[in-house]
Amino acid sequence: MNTLAQTRPDPPRGPAEPVFTDEDFACIARIAQREFGLSLPSAKKDLVQSRLMRRLRALGCADFAAYCARVDGPDGAEERAELVSALTTNVTHFFREAHHFRLLEEICLTPHLPALRAGRRLRLWSAGCSAGPEPYSMAMTVLAALPDAPRLNLRILATDIDPAILDRARSATYGSDEIRAIPEPLRRAHLEPAGPDRHRIVAGTAGRVHFAALNLMADWPLRGPFDAIFCRNVAIYFDKPTQERLWQRLARLLRPGGLLCIGHSERLHGPATGLVTSAGITAYRRNDPAHPLGERTDR
């Protein structure tokens, strides 16, 4: 036996982490549901604790009760934005679920090329755009189908609840590993060098996308109609009633024949199912209200 090991002092310990009580978790879950529609089941308690510890340290909060008081107080709007950023995951990449972009081309672009070249409006919405690969993929898809159109009546709206991630999206700059899914012809047409191992979406493409902060649980300053709405891997954070309300609101903003794409693990349910018809895997088209049996029109 090594007697030195018996007398060696214990290594110094850092300060103990604050206890995250059931009451603390219930408070966070209540705020997340009220403000953002997020559903936090008790099974996520440890995950919530680990993600919020950074915020406690940044703010100098002694415990979670103090943090709850701060985030739920009258001056807590800024911290509530930090809260939702900590609780949600911004995982996305270019041309994710590529079949949706093929449908965008086949449904919203190819049948209407003459009209679009003549100035017909095209309105697309990326709801929950994260760091920007989704709306920029939309822009590349449109411009690949219409390379001869010098001036398109095109607007791509990209919204997210997280101001920090929107700032990154607006920078339009990505690492080499982030652009791997972009087909090589589109890389050549829409990317330019931006430093070592960095690439920027060219201005003519990036300028087609307009970013804005939007809480999907709040009022929407949007009138539509949209030709396509991508709201993918957003509703997974919501409970079923909140999902149903969201699907219905989105469907009602589509033009007849317009395209709604949702995430691969999401399923449309509730009143929205009477407004749309399946168009493929996790993709739907808006029914023409003039035809109650669901016949579609591509006007």
Which residues are known to be catalytic? 51, 160
CB 243 within 8 A of CB 235: yes
In 3D space, the residue among 55, 56, 29 whose CA is nearest the CA of residue 42 turns out to be: 29
In 3D space, the residue among 251, 260, 252, 207 whose CA is nearest the CA of residue 232 turns out to be: 260
Residues in the chain: 299
Q: Is-cis flag, bond preceding 225, omega within 30?
A: yes
Strand ranges for the chain from DSSP E: 122-127, 154-160, 173-175, 191-193, 198-201, 209-213, 226-231, 254-262, 276-280, 283-286
Three-class SS of residue 68? helix
CB 55 within 8 A of CB 82: yes
88 CA to centre of own chain: 10
Q: Which two tokens stand for residue 263?
A: 């995430």
What is the H or E stretch that residue 251 is in? Answer: helix 240-252
Contacts (Cβ under 8 Å, ≥6 apart) of 217: 35, 36, 37, 242
Three-class SS of residue 156? strand
